[in-house]
């Protein structure tokens, strides 16, 4: 259910929080589902226990998980909606960055619209299965995120939308 990439530039706690959010959003982890105590889960994932504890703490602060007396974590009722909204906002941000980058690289608005329409049609034809969603949700590396941000700043200086 969880696939931690130890050689990824994405920190392990971010991989774990992202994958838990995705599983909750798609209801692969339903309200009341339990995740093991952080040390046991870390051993299962071959990760540092402090990394898992940090991921759990972040998700507890967001209202996705709550700690049980046993140390296990439980998915909170209603967490699926919050996780979906957060993931949707991440998708919107990535689209904004992609559009800004497309303009920066000289694509015309009509080309961008056509590319988006083609991708929408392709996505409708073969939607991502729920079990693969956590792998599709990966945070952009800092470097690519910075480049996209720089592109947006450049566009705003040029007075483009």
Q: What is the pLDDT of residues 100-143, one digit of tens each?
A: 999 999 999 999 999 999 999 998 898 665 555 554 544 444 44
What pLDDT, on the 0 to 100 scale, is given for residue 130? Answer: 54
- d(Cα 133, Cα 127) in Å, to the nearest integer? 10
What pLDDT, on the 0 to 100 scale, is given for residue 126? Answer: 80
Residue pair 42/51 in contact (Cβ under 8 Å)? The answer is yes
10 has pLDDT over 60: yes
Percent of the chain residues topping a pLDDT of 90: 75
What pLDDT, on the 0 to 100 scale, is given for residue 142? Answer: 45
Residue pair 79/64 in contact (Cβ under 8 Å)? The answer is yes
pTM over 0.75: no
What pLDDT, on the 0 to 100 scale, is given for residue 156? Answer: 47
Spans of all domains in the chain = 12-75, 89-158
SS3 1: coil
What pLDDT, on the 0 to 100 scale, is given for residue 115? Answer: 94
What pLDDT, on the 0 to 100 scale, is given for residue 129? Answer: 59
What pLDDT, on the 0 to 100 scale, is given for residue 1? Answer: 86
46 has pLDDT over 80: yes
Place 79 in a pLDDT band, splitting at 50, 70 and 90. Answer: very high
- d(Cα 73, Cα 111) in Å, to the nearest integer? 47
What pLDDT, on the 0 to 100 scale, is given for residue 148? Answer: 44
- d(Cα 154, Cα 96) in Å, to the nearest integer? 14
Q: What is the 3-state secondary structure (H, E, C) of 9-48?
A: CCCHHHHHHHHHHHHHHCCCCCCCCEECCHHHHHHHHCCC
- Fold of the domain spanning 12-75: Arc Repressor Mutant, subunit A (1.10.10)
């Amino acid at each position: 259910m969880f696939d931690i990439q130890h050689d990824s530039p994405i920190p392990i706690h971010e991989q774990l929080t992202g994958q838990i959010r995705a599983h909750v959003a798609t209801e692969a982890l339903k309200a009341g589902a339990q995740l093991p105590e952080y040390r046991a889960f870390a051993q299962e994932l071959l990760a540092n226990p402090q990394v898992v504890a940090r991921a759990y703490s972040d998700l507890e602060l967001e209202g996705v998980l709550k700690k049980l007396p046993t140390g296990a974590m439980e998915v909170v009722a209603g967490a699926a909606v919050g996780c979906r909204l957060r993931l949707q906002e991440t998708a919107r941000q990535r689209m904004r960055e992609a559009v800004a980058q497309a303009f920066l690289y000289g694509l015309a608005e009509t080309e961008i619209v056509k590319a988006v329409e083609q991708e929408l049609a392709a996505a409708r034809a073969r939607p991502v299965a729920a079990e693969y969603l956590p792998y599709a949700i990966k945070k952009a590396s800092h470097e690519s995120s910075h480049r996209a941000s720089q592109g947006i700043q450049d566009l705003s200086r040029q007075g483009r939308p």
